[in-house]
């Protein structure tokens, strides 16, 4: 099967805007470049939003949840029931991402993309269920072409209905580090052993078993060479929904704040479909999960934080969010040398 996605993501390159923003930053009351990555971040936000006075509005956190048939093979230290239990925790406000979103005024929406259980309707939960979990990728494709396409469309539809101009990416799904590792290995032509980590906490023997299973999955689906075919082969529904969400957010010129290993895998797929997606992305952190550094390197992405995080959920994105706010106010509110009446540095004598 060969899947396609008809989303156009345009090139944001604007040399004149970049020059204006860089000049504005250089005229602030500070030594040139002394705010480091915060200045680079301010420039990126301006370029994404197409203005030298960017305003970040109504940030939206999407936590996409689904189960995985491959989890039955023992690729996770936790049982699949944890997926629906954590969804309940998100909605009750007790998870890390819930408390961080509340702290920072981020609207949190949980998407049931394929949880293996019926969830009671309530505010903050959207029913995007394609099936009750993906299939076992060792026995066949994790998703059919039709299921993958539906998940992609679900992600696009949800983003179209969200306010604001910032999308934060989160996920939940026992077994989904296996999906991310498979996507990284296939799409970046890397050995699966280099892409595979402990996930939810496997010991060394468990990681070796996981690698052996994932190697078999890659061999079974040698046919899946395009980004979307690989996505369908390896799963899962939450990652496919995130791919659709990323493509839609990019087309709408929203700032996309990427969390960890799983959400970066979704961006990897989206960027291989539409390379200009990466112009809209800010990468929150370098995960402690093995493989994430390789994925960031493949995307030529510089993360904002490196705190050894590997929880997922969107927690790293929520932690990085205040840095985006800081970059915004530095660009828009910090005084220039002229306005503050502060002398600039003198050029060094020749």
By three-state DSSP, how is residue 164 classified?
coil
Looking at the domain assignment, is residue 24 inside a domain? no
Is 337 inside any structural domain? no
**Is there a domain that residue 3 lies in?**
no
Domain count, the chain: 1
- Please state, in angstroms and rounded to a whole number, the distance separating the CA atoms of residues 193 and 271: 23
The confidence score (pLDDT) of residue 350 equals: 57
User: Which CATH number characterizes residue 298's domain?
Assistant: 3.40.50.10210
- Residue 5 is predicted with a pLDDT of 64
Handedness of CA 221, 223, 225, 226 (dihedral sign): negative
- Residue located via tokens 């010129």: 253
* Domain assignment present for 211: yes
276 within domain boundaries: yes
Cα→Cα distances 13→47, 48, 53, 258, 271, Å: 8, 9, 17, 21, 16
Q: How far apart are the first and last CA of the chain?
A: 66
Per-residue pLDDT of the chain (350 residues; tens, 9 = 90+): 556 667 899 999 999 999 999 999 999 999 999 999 999 999 999 999 999 999 999 999 999 999 999 999 989 888 999 999 999 999 999 999 999 999 999 999 999 999 999 999 999 999 999 999 999 999 999 999 999 999 999 999 999 999 999 999 999 999 999 999 999 999 999 999 999 988 778 899 989 999 999 999 999 999 999 999 999 999 999 999 999 999 999 999 999 999 999 999 999 999 999 999 999 999 999 999 999 999 999 999 999 999 999 999 999 999 999 999 999 999 999 999 889 888 887 665 65
Q: Which of 313, 328, 338, 346 is catalytic?
A: 313
The pair phi, psi for residue 312, each rounded to 5°, is 80, -150
Evaluate whether residue 36 is within a structural domain: no
Catalytic residue flag (residue 313) = yes
- Inside any domain, residue 30: no
User: Taking Cα atoms as reference points, which of 294, 269, 267, 272 lies closest to residue 283?
Assistant: 267
Does a structural domain hold residue 293? yes
Residue 80, domain extent: 60-321
| Beta strand spans in the chain (E) | 60-66, 107-114, 125-127, 166-172, 255-258, 281-283
Asked if residue 128 lies in contact with residue 21, where contact means CB atoms within 8 angstroms, the answer is no
């Amino acid at each position: 099967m060969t899947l396609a996605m008809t989303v156009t993501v345009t090139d944001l390159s604007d040399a004149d805007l970049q020059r204006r923003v860089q000049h504005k930053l250089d005229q602030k009351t500070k030594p040139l470049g002394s705010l480091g990555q915060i200045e680079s971040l301010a420039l990126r936000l301006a370029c994404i939003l197409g203005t030298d006075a960017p305003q970040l509005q109504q940030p939206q956190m999407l936590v996409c949840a689904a189960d995985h048939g491959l989890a039955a093979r023992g690729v996770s230290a936790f049982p699949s029931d944890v997926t629906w239990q954590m969804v309940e925790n998100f909605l009750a406000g007790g998870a890390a991402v819930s408390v961080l979103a509340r702290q920072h005024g981020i609207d949190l929406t949980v998407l049931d993309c394929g949880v293996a259980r019926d969830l009671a309707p309530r505010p903050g939960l959207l029913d995007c269920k394609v099936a009750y979990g993906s299939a076992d990728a060792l026995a066949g494709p994790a998703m059919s072409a039709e299921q993958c396409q539906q998940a992609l469309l679900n992600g696009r539809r949800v983003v179209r209905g969200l306010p604001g101009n910032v999308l934060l990416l989160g996920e939940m799904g026992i077994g989904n580090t296996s999906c991310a590792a498979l996507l990284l290995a296939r799409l970046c032509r890397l050995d699966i052993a280099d892409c595979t980590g402990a996930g939810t906490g496997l010991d060394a023997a468990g990681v070796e078993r996981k690698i052996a299973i994932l190697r078999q999955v890659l061999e079974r689906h040698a046919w899946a060479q395009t980004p979307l075919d690989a996505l369908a082969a390896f799963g899962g529904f939450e990652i496919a929904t995130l791919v659709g969400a990323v493509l839609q957010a990019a087309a709408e010129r929203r700032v996309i704040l990427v969390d960890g290993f799983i959400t970066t895998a979704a961006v990897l797929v989206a960027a291989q479909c539409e390379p200009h997606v990466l112009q809209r992305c800010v990468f929150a952190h370098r995960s402690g999960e093995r493989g994430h550094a390789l994925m960031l390197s493949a995307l030529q992405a510089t993360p904002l934080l490196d705190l050894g995080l590997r929880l997922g959920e969107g927690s790293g994105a929520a932690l990085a969010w205040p840095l985006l706010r800081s970059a915004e106010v530095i660009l828009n509110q910090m005084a220039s040398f002229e306005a503050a009446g502060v002398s600039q540095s003198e050029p060094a004598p020749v």
